A and B are shown apart, each in its own frame.
Chain A
Amino acid sequence: MKKRSDKRYGMVINLDKCIGCGNCVVACASENNVPVMHDESDKTRSVSWIQLYLVTNGKKFPDTELVYIPRPCMQCDNPSCVTVCPATATRKDPNTGTISQIYTRCIGCRYCMAACPYHARSFNWFDPSFPEGMTRYLSPEVSPRMRGVVEKCTFCHHRLMRANAKAYAEDRRELKEGEYFPACAEACPTKAIAFGNLDNPEHKVSRLIKSPHAFRLLEKLGTEPKVYYLSKKAWVRRMVYNHLKK
């Protein structure tokens, strides 16, 4: 596998700005026809492409601090899910670097779920369920998934196709910054999520990832995630590298 794609679309999430409102989760579910279950509190069965985690600094009241960590698919440069897939149902796009998931090829073995260290993938244990009448809001840009397949965040790939089509119609071959961004980044009310091509020096994200406050999750595994986080709080960054020192 070619290590670097032509473009490297990536995300930088500023945790100091994330207020844990869940807009990204709702916008994602709404944009991508994610089904809802009667009991969404059953997190091993429910489907979410982006999920919030809550961490605290472990100090006693009133010195406690908390931070939310939104976790989409990390779209790794070196994805462990792709190499284990026996059905070639998931693949790294050589142009954009995003990891695709082809539902009709997926045989539901869930190897990729076991391989993904970020728990970014969900399995459809049941037929997709939507409350009565709610199939009317489904978007034709994203195909609803069937029982027995794995699904995950695609960086709203259909939005890229939409932006590309528009650019093509206007006789442009390159997208401008801000023409393509996923639904979560668009919906973030505090603009905590920045999105763009990490390799393009003109894109904001390429500057942000060079910040001394930037980090990625589980970097030690060598998966090279393209989702970066920013936090000025030292305890947050320490927590991420907790394998180094106890």
Chain B
Amino acid sequence: MELSRRNFVKFGLGVAAGTLLTPLPWKLLDDIAIWTQNWSWVPTPLRGKVSTINSVCTLCSGACGISVRKVGDRVVRVEGRDFPVNHGSVCPLGLAGPQLLYNEAIRWKAPMKKVSGKWQEVSWDEALNMLASRIKASPGKLVAIDGNQSMSTMAALVRRFLDAVDSRNYVTMPREEDTHAAVSSLMMGSDLVAFDLENSDFILSFGCGLLDGWGSSRMLSIWSRNNPYLVQVEPRLSNTASKADNWLAAFPGTEAALAFGIAHVLIKENLYDKDFVNSTSGFAAYANVVESYSPQAVEKITGVSKDAIVDVARSFSSAKSPVALVGQGKGNMLGNLQSFMAVYALNALVGNVNKKGGILAYDSDNIKAKGLLEFMDSDSSCVDTLLVFSANPVYTVPSCEDFAKALAKIPFVVSFSPFKDETSLMADLVLPDHTHLEKMADIMQPAGLQCYTLSKPAVQPLYNTMHSGDFVTALAKKLGIPFQSSFEDALKERAKLLSISWEDVKESGYAKLSGKLSGKKFSFAEVKHVSFPSVNGLVLCPVELINIASGWIANPPFLNKTLFEHQLRKGELFVELNPETASELGLKESSRAVLKTLHGELKVRVHLFDGAMPGVVFIPFGLGHTAYDSYLKGKGVNPNEVLESWHTKVELREVV
């Protein structure tokens, strides 16, 4: 056949039609689709037998019950479980637990020592010998910083070890608990105090972020189950303030004045519990102090309207079991003694002391612990060896750069952190502990809930790590000190002392304690006049958010998913500012600014938020790590670099 133009076209069309009739193009398309998606680096999760382990989350002192879902020998999920503490609620940090366990880049995989600036793996025996000889040489110069929950067996072991080697330098991380202990010793004659929030129908909270992580998930569960009337005193519309039945925006640092104002109304209107007050001491002097805090005067100091003060006072006194509690954020920082006392006094005025739904003081053995700040003030030349347990002070302590400088002067720093955090990177020897899902640890809440909780390992330790409790016992043995033979032994001993069945608590993770309420007289005597600085200029207030881990445990990457674009964007942290204040400063939404205090400067961006009090700059805690991996490092800034306390004078100016 002749190859004419016509035939050529015919042939072409024939081929096209013929191909379309065959499955070839469809098959090719399908193959291409499969090929484009057949990436060998898409992970294939391994199958295995599914099991569940009931444990307790020990990432903070909340002690929430968790159930750990496993596939084969891998942890896949952490969920809340029905537990007397948290009733199924857990926080986002607890849920993201598997990321802390499996993130290889942030974990220490073996004991390491620093040799001329480089990390070198050592054996556990070698590390033990090294530390033992160091301690033997100068036991008096041994210091331990302990971030473990104050009543835990681990904390008790560390304290005991220091006693045994004759070092008196046991230091705890600063926390709200210490202020409560001090105030309740002064006013209630016992340093073991709790608020019976489970049984209260009216909660007057001075600054506690009850729905922002204060009191862990236990508080979330109380709020959702009991629905108590909630009054929140806070300068910012936090999650707690937004869900409160009544939000009182008092100027930062004036909580005591507001408490005095409420007390003034209670006394003036005869709304206080006279029977109870008659059983206390120092009331006359207290009434005298409060006398000068009329609602009008308090309105001037706090910015809360006088009608609101009167209303709150009236509804507080008419509630069945009202409780006033005081704190800040998640409760990770020391509080102000005077404002704590002013709030404690409110509880006494309504007579809700050592009663259901009120403030409870328990009998306790006085546990003394030196504060971290005392240690920082002291001359660091008297320190030779520093042990750091479950803490990251270089990151979490206010004016943390000063702390880092002090730390650098110490000849030998030992970190027991499982993570490559800021403090352990500055250490000379790292003896990695197991993470919370790999070990047994206990948390005791002798007041309030009165429970003893015990976690159990969900998986075998992944790396060459060692339980710090076991290391401390081994170290004691090496030094020839009579001591418990292992951490588990110490736990067993503890259970015996508390008259708890070891087998039961090991299985269920929970045991009820039976504490006795202390019968001491309530004393108003220590409540004194407070001077409130007049507000001029900007104030910097840190904010703790429930979806950012702001303690010594870093924010797992999952939590970064929950942040808004107006909180963190491309590594830049946003501070919150009232639109009016911003326009006075010439700042707009997303403006870049420099934040300057006496301690230093931070670069931030500005988010305009109507819920922020005018004249206050709010900055979130928990970001701005300089350690860890690229999922955590270099995201935002750490407010601790410029903060001195819960409110700091600050300047803010735009950068162009």
Q: Are B562 and A104 in contact (CB-based, < 8 A)?
A: no
Q: Is A95 an interface residue (CB 8 A)?
A: no
9 A-B pairs closest in CB distance: A22-B562, A133-B104, A189-B89, A138-B45, A22-B547, A40-B560, A190-B224, A137-B98, A189-B220
Q: Are B558 and A26 in contact (CB-based, < 8 A)?
A: yes
Q: Is B18 an interface residue (CB 8 A)?
A: no
Given the interface contacts A36-B557, A149-B37, does A131 sit within 8 Å of B217 by beta carbon? Answer: no
Q: Is B559 an interface residue (CB 8 A)?
A: yes
Q: Are A189 and B91 in contact (CB-based, < 8 A)?
A: yes
**Residues of chain B within 8 A of A38, CB atoms compared:** 630-631
Given the interface contacts A23-B92, A30-B98, A40-B560, does A64 sit within 8 Å of B103 by beta carbon? Answer: no
**Selected interface stretch from B74-82, B178-186, B481-489:** B74-82
Q: Are A130 and B611 in contact (CB-based, < 8 A)?
A: no
The CA-CA distance from A60 to B580 in the complex, in Å, is 9
**Residues of chain A within 8 A of B457, CB atoms compared:** none
The CA-CA distance from A38 to B632 in the complex, in Å, is 8
Q: Is B537 an interface residue (CB 8 A)?
A: no
Choose from B34, B76, B612, B613 the contact partner of A139 (Cβ within 8 Å).
B76
A31, A62, A139, A148: most-surrounded residue (chain B CB, <10 A): A62
Q: Which residue of A lies closest to B567 (CB)?
A: A41
Chain A contact residues, CB within 8 Å of chain B: 16-17, 19-23, 25-27, 29-31, 33-34, 36, 38-43, 46, 48, 52, 54, 56, 58-62, 64-67, 103-105, 107, 127-128, 130-140, 144-149, 183, 186-187, 189-192
Given the interface contacts A61-B578, A127-B39, does A136 sit within 8 Å of B102 by beta carbon? Answer: yes
Q: Is B24 an interface residue (CB 8 A)?
A: no
Q: Are A19 and B561 in contact (CB-based, < 8 A)?
A: no
Q: Is B242 an interface residue (CB 8 A)?
A: yes
Q: Are A140 and B75 in contact (CB-based, < 8 A)?
A: no
Nearest CB of chain A from residue B603's CB, rounded to whole Å: 16
**Residues of chain B within 8 A of A60, CB atoms compared:** 580, 610
The CA-CA distance from A192 to B38 in the complex, in Å, is 40
Q: Is B568 an interface residue (CB 8 A)?
A: yes
Q: Are A36 and B239 in contact (CB-based, < 8 A)?
A: no
Q: Is B211 an interface residue (CB 8 A)?
A: yes
Q: Are B34 and A64 in contact (CB-based, < 8 A)?
A: no
Q: Are B42 and A146 in contact (CB-based, < 8 A)?
A: yes
Q: Are A39 and B571 in contact (CB-based, < 8 A)?
A: yes
The CA-CA distance from A137 to B104 in the complex, in Å, is 12
**Residues of chain B within 8 A of A103, CB atoms compared:** 37
Q: Is B496 an interface residue (CB 8 A)?
A: no
Q: Are B79 and A133 in contact (CB-based, < 8 A)?
A: no
Q: Which of B510-559 contact A (CB under 8 A)?
A: 546-547, 557-559
The CA-CA distance from A27 to B547 in the complex, in Å, is 12
**Residues of chain A within 8 A of B47, CB atoms compared:** 140
Q: Are B220 and A138 in contact (CB-based, < 8 A)?
A: no
Q: Is B614 an interface residue (CB 8 A)?
A: yes
Q: Are A30 and B45 in contact (CB-based, < 8 A)?
A: no
**Residues of chain A within 8 A of B291, CB atoms compared:** none
Q: Are A41 and B570 in contact (CB-based, < 8 A)?
A: yes
**Residues of chain B within 8 A of A107, CB atoms compared:** 33
Choose from B38, B91, B98 the contact partner of A21 (Cβ within 8 Å).
B91
**Residues of chain A within 8 A of B387, CB atoms compared:** none
Nearest CB of chain B from residue A242's CB, rounded to whole Å: 18
Choose from A19, A148, A186 the contact partner of B239 (Cβ within 8 Å).
A19
Nearest CB of chain A from residue B541's CB, rounded to whole Å: 14
**Residues of chain B within 8 A of A52, CB atoms compared:** 562, 564
Q: Are A41 and B91 in contact (CB-based, < 8 A)?
A: no
Q: Are B43 and A64 in contact (CB-based, < 8 A)?
A: no
Q: Is B372 an interface residue (CB 8 A)?
A: no
Choose from A20, A36, A149 the contact partner of B558 (Cβ within 8 Å).
A36
Q: Are A131 and B629 in contact (CB-based, < 8 A)?
A: yes
The CA-CA distance from A14 to B629 in the complex, in Å, is 37
A52, A64, A104, A139: most-surrounded residue (chain B CB, <10 A): A64
Nearest CB of chain B from residue A39's CB, rounded to whole Å: 6
The CA-CA distance from A177 to B74 in the complex, in Å, is 30
Interface residues on B, range: 35 or more
**Residues of chain A within 8 A of B602, CB atoms compared:** none
Choose from A46, A62, A104 the contact partner of B34 (Cβ within 8 Å).
A104
Choose from A23, A41, A149, A190 the contact partner of B565 (Cβ within 8 Å).
A41
Q: Is B508 an interface residue (CB 8 A)?
A: no
Nearest CB of chain A from residue B203's CB, rounded to whole Å: 15
Q: Are A148 and B578 in contact (CB-based, < 8 A)?
A: no
The CA-CA distance from A71 to B267 in the complex, in Å, is 49
The CA-CA distance from A16 to B230 in the complex, in Å, is 14
Q: Are B43 and A138 in contact (CB-based, < 8 A)?
A: yes
Interface string of B216-247 (1 = CB under 8 A from A): 01001101100000000000010110110001
Given the interface contacts A46-B561, A61-B578, does A190 sit within 8 Å of B89 by beta carbon? Answer: yes
Q: Are B547 and A61 in contact (CB-based, < 8 A)?
A: no
Q: Are B45 and A139 in contact (CB-based, < 8 A)?
A: yes
Q: Which residue of B lies closest to A130 (CB)?
A: B43
Q: Are A144 and B45 in contact (CB-based, < 8 A)?
A: yes
Q: Are B102 and A133 in contact (CB-based, < 8 A)?
A: yes
Nearest CB of chain B from residue A232's CB, rounded to whole Å: 12
Choose from B90, B220, B612 the contact partner of A61 (Cβ within 8 Å).
B612
Q: Which of B61-80 contact A (CB under 8 A)?
A: 71, 74-80
Q: Are B563 and A41 in contact (CB-based, < 8 A)?
A: yes
**Residues of chain A within 8 A of B101, CB atoms compared:** 137
Q: Are B37 and A104 in contact (CB-based, < 8 A)?
A: yes
The CA-CA distance from A127 to B38 in the complex, in Å, is 11
Q: Is B479 an interface residue (CB 8 A)?
A: no
The CA-CA distance from A145 to B44 in the complex, in Å, is 10
Extra pairs beyond A41-B569, A107-B33, A138-B45 (9, CB < 8 Å): A25-B558, A41-B568, A65-B237, A66-B242, A133-B103, A139-B71, A140-B48, A149-B37, A190-B220
Choose from B37, B239, B609 the contact partner of A20 (Cβ within 8 Å).
B239
Q: Are B560 and A127 in contact (CB-based, < 8 A)?
A: no
A26, A139, A191: most-surrounded residue (chain B CB, <10 A): A26
Q: Which residue of B lies closest to A134 (CB)?
A: B102
Choose from B243, B247, B557, B580 the contact partner of A19 (Cβ within 8 Å).
B243
The CA-CA distance from A164 to B242 in the complex, in Å, is 40
The CA-CA distance from A191 to B226 in the complex, in Å, is 12
Q: Is B505 an interface residue (CB 8 A)?
A: no
**Residues of chain B within 8 A of A33, CB atoms compared:** 45
Q: Is B249 an interface residue (CB 8 A)?
A: yes
Interface string of B610-644 (1 = CB under 8 A from A): 11111000000000000001110001000000000
The CA-CA distance from A189 to B216 in the complex, in Å, is 11
Q: Is B3 an interface residue (CB 8 A)?
A: no
Q: Is B95 an interface residue (CB 8 A)?
A: yes
Q: Are B42 and A66 in contact (CB-based, < 8 A)?
A: no
Q: Are A132 and B571 in contact (CB-based, < 8 A)?
A: no
The CA-CA distance from A236 to B102 in the complex, in Å, is 41
**Residues of chain A within 8 A of B568, CB atoms compared:** 41
Q: Are B247 and A137 in contact (CB-based, < 8 A)?
A: no
The CA-CA distance from A134 to B74 in the complex, in Å, is 11
Given the interface contacts A131-B629, A189-B217, does A30 sit within 8 Å of B610 by beta carbon? Answer: no
Q: Are A186 and B547 in contact (CB-based, < 8 A)?
A: no
Q: Which residue of B lies closest to A21 (CB)?
A: B546
Q: Are A67 and B242 in contact (CB-based, < 8 A)?
A: yes
Given the interface contacts A26-B559, A30-B96, A148-B36, does A135 sit within 8 Å of B43 by beta carbon? Answer: yes
The CA-CA distance from A189 to B569 in the complex, in Å, is 27
**Residues of chain A within 8 A of B46, CB atoms compared:** 140
Nearest CB of chain B from residue A10's CB, rounded to whole Å: 21
**Residues of chain B within 8 A of A58, CB atoms compared:** 610
